[in-house]
Amino acid sequence: MAVLGIDIGGSKIAVGRVNRQAEVGGLRVLPTLASSGAEVSLAQVWRAVEAGIGPEVEAIGICAPGPLDAAAGVVLNPPNLPGWREVPLARMAREKFGLPVSLENDCNAAGLAEARYGAGKGHSLVFYAAIGTGIGSGIVWGGKIFRGAHGAGAEAGHMTIDYRSAIQCACGAAGCIEALASGRVFDEAGDEDLDELAVRLGAWLGGVISLLDPGIIVIGGGVAQTGEPLFARLRAAAVRWTVNPFAGQIPIVPAHFGTESGVIGAALVAMENAR
């Protein structure tokens, strides 16, 4: 069985065919063109599907930024996709391409890929964060995605770490970690600012550790490419901002997968739903 996995991000759409061994073939990346509005960015999604679909594809798995309703297949109101409000993406894709379609939060999907086949393999509780255009997160517990009571959980990128901040997030709240330390901020920062950014992320991760006590923290997205200088700072900062006495034993590591993480995770969800 091959499943077409599609990862819709704020700046790019990745698509590829995924087999039962989580191997990706025909990976392609298209621009999302999100700033041009919903009609244009949706057209890019359909182009991505058309670029990857073939006779061997039996289902389609899509992941997109939250908040979304995975069970209903509806994208609700993602801050990084302007104009996407109550978009019934799974139904639209199903009607357009005539195949079963599953929808999942992008970081839930990427976290699932990392927990089962990547850096988090072997850990029962994995916290995954993607630091790129925004900051998204996913929690995989016992090999399953944790979605919360209403399916909208694990949006840790919109946790406020400074409610007095004058910096407002696209979600409408002040001082979200996404607004204070996302890839946009890193893009604008010089080396002298890396310590401050690591402290912000470390304070956030310390709170995550206090709440979840994860077995491992896996960091993906473009910022993860900063490498060990960033990760060493994160490990040092996180232990200062948590009450968890085991924090120093919790690895904070870069993701194993790159562009294909969401593609693999979206396909895994679609495979499970097809059983």
Pair 53, 103 in one domain:
yes
pLDDT score of 205: 97
What beta strand segments (E) does the chain contain? 2-8, 12-18, 24-31, 57-64, 68-69, 74-75, 101-105, 125-131, 135-141, 144-145, 216-220, 252-254
Pair 168, 197 in one domain:
yes
pLDDT score of 192: 62
pLDDT score of 159: 95
* pLDDT-based confidence at residue 138 (cuts at 50, 70, 90): very high
* pLDDT-based confidence at residue 239 (cuts at 50, 70, 90): very high
Of the candidates 191, 204, 218, which has an alpha carbon nearest to the alpha carbon of residue 127? 218
pLDDT score of 188: 58
pLDDT score of 30: 96
Pair 79, 136 in one domain:
no
Residue 115 within a domain: no
Pair 135, 66 in one domain:
no
CATH (domain of 206): 3.30.420.40
Pair 24, 62 in one domain:
yes
pLDDT score of 130: 93
Average pLDDT across the chain, whole number = 92
Tally of CB atoms within 10 A around 248: 11
pLDDT score of 94: 97
Pair 250, 142 in one domain:
yes
Mean predicted confidence (pLDDT) in 109-131: 97
Distance CA 229, CA 248 (A): 17
Residue 238 within a domain: yes
pLDDT > 70? residue 184: no
pLDDT score of 193: 72
Pair 265, 243 in one domain:
no
Q: How many domains does the chain have?
A: 2
7-51 pLDDT per residue, tens: 998 889 999 999 999 999 999 999 999 999 999 999 999 999 999
Structural domain including 159 reads: 121-254
61-111 pLDDT per residue, tens: 999 988 899 999 999 988 889 999 999 999 999 999 999 999 999 999 999
